[in-house]
Amino acid sequence: MSRKDHRFTESPVLKDQLASWRIHFVSALIFGALLALVGRAFYLQVINEDFLQERGDARYRRVLEIPASRGKILDRHGETLAQSTPMRAVWATADAKLDKEQLKALSDLLEMDPRQIEKKLVGDKSFIYLKHQVPPEAAARIAALKLPGIQMDREYSRFYPAGDMAAHMVGFTGKEDKGQEGVELAFESRLIGTNGERTVIKDRRGQIVEEIGSERPPQDGEDIQLAIDSKIQFIAFNALRNAIDKFNAKGGSVIVADIKSGEILALANWPTYNPNNRSQLSGGQLRNRAVTDSFEPGSTMKPFIAALALDRGKYKFDSIINCAPGKMTIGSATISDAHPHGALTLAQVIQKSSNIGATKIALGFPSEDMWTMFSKLGFGKPVGLGFPGEVGGRLRPWQTWKPIEQATMSYGHGISVTVVQLAHAYSVFARDGDVVPLSLLKTNGAVAGNTVFAPETARQVRQMLEMVVSPEGTAKKAAVPGYRVGGKTGTAHKLVGGRYANKYLASFVGIGPISEPRLVVGVVVDEPVGGHYGGDVAGPVFSEVMGGALRTLGVPQDQDSTPAALRATVETPAAKAAPLAVAAAKKGGGH
């Protein structure tokens, strides 16, 4: 067949006339398919793009969290009171199948019984923690074992180097490093940090090959520097513990505050607990008594009444008040003194702690005046340190006071306060008539206070307080060798079920040194046995704490403590030694 013979236009196949619907059908089909493809492409690339992009990224892109650490809690000199260190939590997935040898190695590193681990692994949970708080060294060795299905998470553990000494002050953290008590809770928002983040591309072996975009750096929690002085805290805690041992008491608190800056230098409670090991804790141990327990203060309130009397000019330092015969009846109630006194001066009422004297002064003032003074001194409302569970004690509105109540309040019954409130109020005498706001945190220098009394009033009451620790006063055991100090004892019956029981609260609040006050120290001992007077029980604690704290701070002594007999003998060698020392210094060339 030649080429010319073939003519396409005359192909026999084409000669058949096709039905026109067929061509329309096919082209519609093709066009429809095309449309579907375009639609699908549009869906994938425009509508669903975000999702797909994300899934795509997820194959190789990883967002890594950069952990931030919780802030430290420091004392005023920068000593650590609480610090977080990273630990590991070890967990297992369902496909953790270990042979005998691996199990042994793991149990050794975790310090767990292998049977215990086996039991956990047998369970049908897809995820189970084997152990929390695994130290980093052990964790690194476990990771090196490359056990199947054993994984690790980063977690933190909090350490408290000061232990039980400052437990109530510092508090502790619970699960997930969240503050639960004390400063840990009070300053939670400042202590916590925010984790950072960075986005990277990882290769098949899990190594980072590229960083994408900018990282968000982690924000570590703020360090909190407390006003507390570890050394004074130690002195206070020890003195309290010894007194509680000696008197077999139920509990107690001590507070030391700097009256110039209002800083709390020490705050100790008993009973206490070890914040590093909290397996056996009771509510009583946890309580920060100094701020959560209010009590009837007893005679420690008397100096305020004396101050009110002086401030109003109604009495003078040596005005005579007749306290005989040691009993007094108001309405149906009778007030008495522990030891009957005759006529006393205002100062002696404080020195000898006469209830009758205080009552007679108090009844000379309208109840509103007394209430206003108590309120200005901070009674009836929390001091506002920010501690959880802080109470303000009880100070009923003056409108409801009956004369007998006004009388008992003058010597500290029918009103309740915390030891922190008492120390706070006593700053009025140490500071020439104004109360200083107390602070848990280190502050910068002196702070202004709220004026309650005239400076002269404060000076005179200071003198009365010093008389209390003299041999004629109620608290000669509170004296501090080398320093002039002053304070007031309190011996209060405890209220048990609304009635006064034969249980006591012994307290002592005082200031020192008298010539230029620097510190206020408050001591409360709960239910002492074998002695219950504030001067005998709390006085020695005050003496030890005040003396120790003043020496620690390097406050110059304002009293010559050397007995005259000794002075003569020690001065002679000292005088001889001086020229020798000069000679030695000259020989050595001096510095």
Of 462, 465, 468, 475, residue with least CA distance to 506: 475
Output 218 or 388, the one with its CB closest to other proteins. Answer: 218
Residue 204 structure tokens: 């098949």
Residue 148 structure tokens: 């199947």
Q: What's the longest Cα–Cα distance across the chain?
A: 157
**Residues assigned a catalytic role:** 299
* Nearest distance in Å: CB 137, other proteins: 10
E-state strands within 497-541: 499-512, 519-526
Q: Which residues contact 168 (CB under 8 A, 6 or more apart)?
A: 181, 182, 267, 268, 269, 272, 286, 287, 288, 289, 290
* Nearest distance in Å: CB 233, other proteins: 8
* Nearest distance in Å: CB 562, other proteins: 6
Output 80 or 443, the one with its CB closest to other proteins. Answer: 80
Query: Which class for 543: exposed (0-12), middle (13-18), buried (19 or more C-beta within 10 A)?
Result: buried
Output 482 or 486, the one with its CB closest to other proteins. Answer: 482
* Nearest distance in Å: CB 207, other proteins: 7
Instruction: Supply angle C-alpha 254, 370, 320, rounded to 5.
Output: 90
Q: Strand, helix or coil at 250?
A: coil
Output 29 or 208, the one with its CB closest to other proteins. Answer: 208
List alpha helices for 296-418, DSSP H: 302-311, 346-352, 355-362, 367-376, 403-410
* Nearest distance in Å: CB 85, other proteins: 5
Of 273, 283, 271, residue with least CA distance to 245: 271
Q: Which residues contact 300 (CB under 8 A, 6 or more apart)?
A: 412, 422, 488, 489, 490, 507, 508, 509, 534
Residues 511 and 494: their CA atoms lie apart, in Å, by 25
* Nearest distance in Å: CB 567, other proteins: 8
Output 149 or 161, the one with its CB closest to other proteins. Answer: 161
Output 53 or 85, the one with its CB closest to other proteins. Answer: 85
Q: Strand, helix or coil at 89?
A: strand
Q: Strand, helix or coil at 344?
A: strand
* Nearest distance in Å: CB 199, other proteins: 14
Residues in contact with other proteins by CB under 8 A are 79-80, 83-86, 136, 159, 161-163, 165, 207-211, 230-231, 234, 238, 481-482, 547, 556-557, 560-563, 566, 570, 574
Task: Read off φ and ψ for residue 35, nearest 5 degrees.
Answer: -60, -45
Output 75 or 405, the one with its CB closest to other proteins. Answer: 75
